[in-house]
Amino acid sequence: MNHGLFPETVGIDADSRFVDIDVESRFDDADTDSRRGRVDGVTLHVVVAGPEDGEPVVLLHGFPECWYGWHEYVEPLTAAGYRVIVPDQRGYNASDKPSAVGAYHLDSLAGDVSGLLDAFDIGTAHLVGHDWGAYVAWWVGLHAPERVRTLSVLNVPHPTVFRRALTRNPRQMLRSWYVLFFQLPRLPETLARAGDWRTLTTLFERSSRPGTFDETDFERYRTAWEVEGAYRSMLNWYRAIVRADPRPATTRVRPPTLVLWGANDDFLLESLATESSGYCESGRLVVLDDATHWLHHEFPDRVLDELTTHFER
């Protein structure tokens, strides 16, 4: 049976250990790099690296990735002295996959992040997210700013900006057509599996710079997608947000915020980045003119430099 993709599979110097822990418990204190702990009623797989006393950095992946979306950043950040925490978010890869669509409400997704910080006895962390991970990061920054030392979001706009664009901007509505397609029952899951997940690998290839992803990457992603129930759960994020239509309790973002944006994003208008930075009390916008939606894969050195500079401000 395929249980998912783990650090040792991709050559990261880390152990894969799973520790079953009750909801109210903390993570096991053992020195492990891949841990499994109870968080908000779900079990999350988490890749952990770096010194115990390093400043914590939480990296949140988006669709259709998993923790592997940040694999190029684990070793450089640990070498710089940071404690790196990279979860498979609920529904993905080796983490639990609740069957109910309502289990993927943004409040629960953000609660997973706060729960992870509690589990590791972390008060505040540098929070980084890409795509859906960025949306969750915005939500944490808006509703639990006291847990966020710095906020860094890659190629997803502020929730208020995005909601407005999806209802008032025809160009963005057209780019987001797939969100409506994902509301259909069963059909998106069936089509995605056809041709050895050709729809998803083609999505990566056509929306990124040439050579960004290779067959090794695709094989590793396929391993995560093929975990039983994973792809259905990944789509349930889209189903949940459409059904619930959540709105943040506040629109102002208090933590220092870096908005990193690839200008050639096929899915999101660049204007949303500028609007988003305007909602931040201390915001900085950096646009990579040659990058796409997948900027953290295309320009890892540049993105890493921007992130660590932001952490140190």
- The CA-atom distances, in angstroms, between 1 and each of 4, 85, 226, 307 are 9, 26, 10, 38
Query: Using one digit for the tens of pLDDT, what is the confidence trace for 157-216?
Result: 999 999 999 999 999 999 999 999 999 999 999 999 999 999 999 999 999 999 999 999
- Active-site residue among 45, 158, 293, 296? 293
238 is an active site residue: yes
Q: What is the pLDDT of residue 19?
A: 31
User: Could you tell me if 186 and 272 are in contact, meaning their C-beta atoms sit under 8 angstroms apart?
Assistant: no
Phi, psi (deg, nearest 5) at residue 215: -65, -30
Would the pLDDT of 111 be above 50? yes
Query: Using one digit for the tens of pLDDT, what is the confidence trace for 273-295?
Result: 999 999 999 999 999 999 999 99
The amino acid sitting at 155 is N
CATH numbers and ranges of domains, the chain: 7-312 (3.40.50.1820)
- Active-site residue among 68, 82, 238, 279? 238
Q: What is the pLDDT of residue 94?
A: 95
293 is an active site residue: yes
Long-range contacts of 189-198 (CB under 8 A, 24+ apart): 189/231, 189/232, 189/235, 192/225, 192/231, 193/231, 196/222, 197/221, 197/222, 197/225, 197/226
- Active-site residue among 40, 88, 96, 131? 131
CA dist., res. 217 & res. 6, Å (int): 13
CB atoms within 10 A of CB 29: 9
Q: Which of 225, 244, 245 is nearest to 235 (CA)?
A: 225
CA dist., res. 176 & res. 192, Å (int): 17
pTM: 0.94
Q: Which residues pair with 127 in a beta bridge?
A: 58, 151
Which has the higher per-residue pLDDT, 114 or 206? 206
